[in-house]
Structure 1
Amino acid sequence: MTICAFDIMPDRTDVASGDAPPEHGYRWVHFDLGDADLAGFLEAHVPSIPAAALSAPETRPRSDAFGDGLILNLRGVNMNADGPADRMVAVRMWVTAQLVVTVRVRRVFALDAMRVEAEQGKAPSTPMAFVNSLATRLMGRVQDTVFDLSERVDAMEDSVQDDDQPLPTELAEERRMAIRMRRYLAPQRDALVALVGTNSPLMAQGTRDLLREQANLAKLAVEELEGLIARMTAVQDHHTAQAALLQGHNGYVLSIVAAVFLPLGFVTGLFGVNVAGMPGLEAPWAFAALCASLAVMTVLAVWVLRRLKWI
């Protein structure tokens, strides 16, 4: 059973009825990939190659002309409760002059909004206007997500100004999010650019101009994500360098302390052996003399280290 099906005509939008799309207008049919009726519908109404693209379990963004139609796959930000935003949702599409078929795996809120508009009689007037409306909604949510991520990266960079601040705990996850989003948006950018350049008769000049703007937004989103990844890497490198510097300084201080006390430890260890023949065992001034010798050795060790420019 379809999620929804509408006959969209110049003067009105009706729930689809009958097997044939309207003579003046187009039919939009929306399926879930797990729908038992999907295979039969595709066999009856869609050529085999686009049908295989619509029913593929895994997809990547693409835009390919096939006969008199277009095979389109687009990605959008995941707004469902089943995962993070960067687990992007996919929309598979087959677009002709009289038929638009969309297939989803997880709920796509942009398509839900278009469904509400269709129920209100406000559906896009042409198939390519439908594609542009969907691409605009998907890229709008992508832009919002990228901008939110950019603000969080700005806050992380502010922590670099204070060397006492620890490494942000969310840095690794935010960087993984940016990398995963770029993985899908880079081919989406290419798909939208290819769509703008297609010679399909479906593409009117006005729609081409609107889709070119969405392609530009995809380019900007990819460039921003690449910049964010580099900035987060710089934040990570800064904190790593600060930690290494602090560790090196602490190790240096411990080495200087060890260098000063090493000869003192040797002397006290030597005089600490409890055997006959040790000098000063019977002399009352021997302990004071030993302490004075240790003080002189300490001063001498510090002087030598300063001469060597170790301190």
Structure 2
Amino acid sequence: MTDPEFAGWVTSHLPPIPAGALLQAETRPRCDTYNDGLMLNLRGINMNKDAVADEMISLRLWVADDVLITVRRRKVFAVDAIRAACEAGNAPKDPATFLEWLVDGLTTRVENHIDTIEQLTDFYETDLEDTDTLPPRDLPVTRRSIIRLRRYLEPQRHALAKLAAINLPIMPEPNAMQLREIANRSTIAVEELDELRDRLTSIQGEHDNHVAQRQARHSYVLSVAAALFLPLSFITGLFGVNLAGMIGADHPHAFAILCLSMLGLSVAMVAILRWIRWI
């Protein structure tokens, strides 16, 4: 699609609507008929080197009885697998078979990626057994990945269902039957994404609860300590004013008596806090 001569070639060889569909800058999965041809936009997992998998690659197609055009900006491994089969002498016999192989390859790679996310989710759930474990740093990244995947896989599910039900001469019933099975797999993939999204939300909520409980426990300990030391601080402040007439200033055992009194007060405070069920 980055070929500078591509736009001119498409507009001169295809009707305006299919040509425009192939040249669109932004696309979403779709499946529409035009006369006896088929306009199809699909998305595939980005498996290119140093790429983010959930940045799904757009693949535009125009399919007719005598021509099949695929357009993409980046490498789509499902298309390359078909090319390798052609070079090995095992090319698809017709456009319908090509579409069947292509959709199966795209869906299989989506399923494999979702399996990877599910393994991560299982790992996150195992971590929850230890309440002192901090939330995984990549948990928000995984949640955002699911959101981006679902953005394209939900409309792709509808596009594949429409493709399987389409009534065109280029789509014989045996191929349509296989496409219906693949469309069902795509629906299951979207449902699994929904489940994983809910599980990750629950995991995040559990971690947030653990953090809140730890903070509440620490605040509780500080509150109890403050309740114990508040009267003691008052007494030490009162006896530290260094003014004439302070009780016990000339008594040799005054300091010991003060310390024992404060110890007794502390014991009494602990007893009172237990009695009112603060501790």
Task: Answer whether TM exceeds 0.5 for this pair.
Answer: yes
- CA drift of 1:186 comes to 0.5
Q: In structure 1, how many angstroms separate the alpha carbons of the residues matched to 2:146 and 2:86?
A: 34
| Percent pairwise identity | 46
- CA drift of 1:175 comes to 1.1
Deviates more, 1:114-123 or 1:251-260: 114-123
Q: In structure 1, how many angstroms separate the alpha carbons of the residues matched to 2:58 and 2:50?
A: 14
Deviating above 3 A after TM superposition, structure 1's stretches of 4 or more consecutive aligned residues are none
Unpaired segments of 5 or more residues in structure 1?
A: 1-32
Question: Which of 112, 124, 127 is residue 159 of structure 1 equivalent to?
Answer: 127
User: Paired residue for 2:210?
Assistant: 242
Question: Which of 197, 219, 225 is residue 257 of structure 1 equivalent to?
Answer: 225
User: Paired residue for 1:125?
Assistant: 93
Q: In structure 1, how many angstroms separate the alpha carbons of the residues matched to 2:88 and 2:218?
A: 70
Question: Which of 177, 180, 184 is residue 212 of structure 1 equivalent to?
Answer: 180
Q: In structure 1, how many angstroms separate the alpha carbons of the residues matched to 2:272 and 2:126?
A: 43
- CA drift of 1:54 comes to 0.3
Q: Which has the higher helix share?
A: 2
Q: In structure 1, how many angstroms separate the alpha carbons of the residues matched to 2:241 and 2:73?
A: 81
Question: Which of 83, 102, 106 is residue 70 of structure 2 equivalent to?
Answer: 102
Question: Which of 219, 225, 250 is residue 282 of structure 1 equivalent to?
Answer: 250
Q: In structure 1, how many angstroms separate the alpha carbons of the residues matched to 2:33 and 2:44?
A: 22
Q: How do 1:144-155 and structure 2 match up within 5 A?
A: 144-155=112-123
Q: What's the Cα RMSD here?
A: 1.1
Q: Deviation per CA, 1:158-184: give whole Å up to 9, x if none.
A: 001111222111111111111111111
User: Paired residue for 1:116?
Assistant: 84
Q: In structure 1, how many angstroms separate the alpha carbons of the residues matched to 2:112 and 2:50?
A: 20
Say whether 1:227 aligns with 2:211. no
- CA drift of 1:118 comes to 1.9
- CA drift of 1:120 comes to 2.8
Q: Which amino acid aligns with 1:300?
A: A
Q: Which has the higher strand share?
A: 1
- What TM-score results when the alignment is normalised by the length of structure 2? 0.97
- CA drift of 1:245 comes to 0.3
User: Paired residue for 1:193?
Assistant: 161
User: Paired residue for 2:273?
Assistant: 305
- CA drift of 1:116 comes to 2.0
Q: In structure 1, how many angstroms separate the alpha carbons of the residues matched to 2:120 and 2:210?
A: 21
User: Paired residue for 1:72?
Assistant: 40
Q: Deviation per CA, 1:251-297: give whole Å up to 9, x if none.
A: 10111111011101100111011121211111112112211221221
Q: How do 1:41-52 and structure 2 match up within 5 A?
A: 41-52=9-20
Q: In structure 2, how many angstroms separate the alpha carbons of the residues matched to 1:89 and 1:134?
A: 14
Q: Which amino acid aligns with 1:87?
A: E
Q: In structure 1, how many angstroms separate the alpha carbons of the residues matched to 2:236 and 2:149?
A: 65
Q: Deviation per CA, 1:226-245: give whole Å up to 9, x if none.
A: 11111111111111101100
Q: In structure 2, how many angstroms separate the alpha carbons of the residues matched to 1:185 and 1:132?
A: 17
Name the SS for the 1:125 alignment partner: coil
Q: In structure 2, how many angstroms separate the alpha carbons of the residues matched to 1:120 and 1:292?
A: 95
Name the SS for the 1:215 alignment partner: helix
Q: Which amino acid aligns with 1:254?
A: L
Unpaired segments of 5 or more residues in structure 2?
A: none
Name the SS for the 2:53 alignment partner: coil
Q: In structure 2, how many angstroms separate the alpha carbons of the residues matched to 1:147 and 1:59?
A: 26
Say whether 1:203 aligns with 2:178. no
